[in-house]
Amino acid sequence: MRALAAVVATLWLPAGGTFSSVRPAGNELLLSGYAQTGTACIRATVDPVRLKLLRTSRGPCPAPRVVYDPRSFWAAVVLGNGRAVFRFQSYSDTQPEWAFGPGALWVYDVNTDRGPELARVSLASGRVVQRVRMPKMFRPLLAADLDGAWLVPATNGGLGDGSQPQPLLHVALGATRAEVVHRGGRAALWLLAHGHTVWMEQIAGRTTVSLWRFDGTKGREFARPGYIAADAVWGAGSLWVAGADAHCTTEAFVRVDPDTGRATRVARVKTGSCEPLAGDPHALLYSHGALFFLDEPWLHRIEP
């Protein structure tokens, strides 16, 4: 693996909450998370070039959000317009997953009041425009692109029937059921969709990993990476993947050619936790020519 020398800068984030998401907002970055007190969310606006905090605020949590019933195990996924996507029974392995795709928000839960279900919400109308009854898949990774939604079990998830190897599922726009497009390994470490292409790092056993690319529903294994990653984003025509070392003290960042799988190590950054990229749903971002990632209470910028 080749290596590059990157410039790393760090911003100390304001107290009062836990930031879990970083997104582009025009010429700025918008960080959001939950305040330490009350039910409001905390936001921070950052200049990505100077890596300078511009302002902070509190307000209603961005959609979607989970609203819990204090008298039962039932909860609801609620949109910004107040509409509920569905109700679900809330346990440790039944929390909802969601992902934004072109013009749509996709939301999945394994234990809704209609059983396992995937819903597509139109970002234009704010209404549910597609519902698909799904296989019983616990703790999946979910991604969306121009062709629909993709689901695969994470390392702490799987199918309800315990079957192996694990499937990669695809739900096309307007479809009424999920299609199995691949079976392999025991889980996926990360799943990334962009345009009409999906990439996935699959793990079998404890350490055997392989990199897969799917064009539409046709897939191929095209690399055996010399790293084990936890998350990936798209930016500047490349895949940017990240993963902690065995001692949970350093996060390694690798640039991967999306066509060949050729990897270039970009940087290693000391972190404050074992899973700094476990934020929901966007703790890793490529924007303004740099990688940004949240590692509470810091925001790191990596300039390749």
**Averaged pLDDT for residues 3-24:** 87
User: Of 121, 119, 115, nearest to 88 (Cα)?
Assistant: 115
Whether 269 shows a pLDDT value over 50: the answer reads yes
Residues in the chain: 304
Q: What is the pLDDT of residue 273?
A: 62
pLDDT range class, residue 1, cuts 50, 70, 90: low
Question: Alpha-carbon distance 185 to 268, whole Å?
Answer: 28
Question: Alpha-carbon distance 217 to 179, whole Å?
Answer: 9
Type of residue found at 27: N
DSSP 62: P
Q: What is the pLDDT of residue 17?
A: 86
Q: Give pLDDT tens digits for 75-122.
A: 999 998 899 999 999 999 999 999 999 999 999 999 999 999 999 999
DSSP 50: T
Q: Which helix (H) or strand (E) holds 164?
A: none
**Averaged pLDDT for residues 57-65:** 80
With vertex at residue 207, the alpha carbon angle to CA 205 and CA 210, rounded to the nearest 5 degrees, is: 90
User: Of 234, 292, 241, 283, nearest to 266 (Cα)?
Assistant: 241
Q: Which of 51-65, 166-180, 220-234, 271-285 has the highest mean pLDDT?
A: 166-180
User: Of 285, 291, 251, nearest to 268 (Cα)?
Assistant: 251
- Cis before 297? omega within 30: yes
Please give the mean pLDDT across all residues of the chain.
Answer: 91
Whether 249 shows a pLDDT value over 90: the answer reads no
Q: What is the pLDDT of residue 126?
A: 94
Alpha-carbon distances of 155 from 98, 139, 303, rounded to whole Å: 17, 8, 30
pTM of the model: 0.91
Percent of the chain with pLDDT over 70: 93
**Averaged pLDDT for residues 243-266:** 86
pLDDT range class, residue 246, cuts 50, 70, 90: low
Range of weakest confidence among 33-37, 199-203, 272-276, 286-290? 272-276
Alpha-carbon distances of 265 from 28, 75, 108, 239, rounded to whole Å: 27, 42, 34, 12
Q: What is the pLDDT of residue 278?
A: 47
Q: Are 27 and 33 in contact (CB under 8 A)?
A: no
Q: What is the pLDDT of residue 279?
A: 45
Question: Alpha-carbon distance 4 to 25, whole Å?
Answer: 29
Q: What is the pLDDT of residue 162?
A: 78
**Which DSSP string do the residues of 188-215 spell out, in sequence order?**
EEEEEEETTEEEEEEEETTTEEEEEEEE
Q: Give pLDDT tens digits for 193-237.
A: 999 999 999 999 888 999 999 999 999 999 888 778 889 999 999
**Which DSSP string do the residues of 83-131 spell out, in sequence order?**
-EEEEEE--TT---EEEEETTEEEEEEEEEBTEEEEEEEETTT-SEEEE
**Averaged pLDDT for residues 56-81:** 89
User: Of 293, 194, 188, 277, nearest to 238 (Cα)?
Assistant: 194
With vertex at residue 153, the alpha carbon angle to CA 151 and CA 157, rounded to the nearest 5 degrees, is: 140
Percent of the chain with pLDDT over 90: 72
pLDDT range class, residue 274, cuts 50, 70, 90: low
Whether 168 shows a pLDDT value over 90: the answer reads yes
Q: What is the pLDDT of residue 229?
A: 87
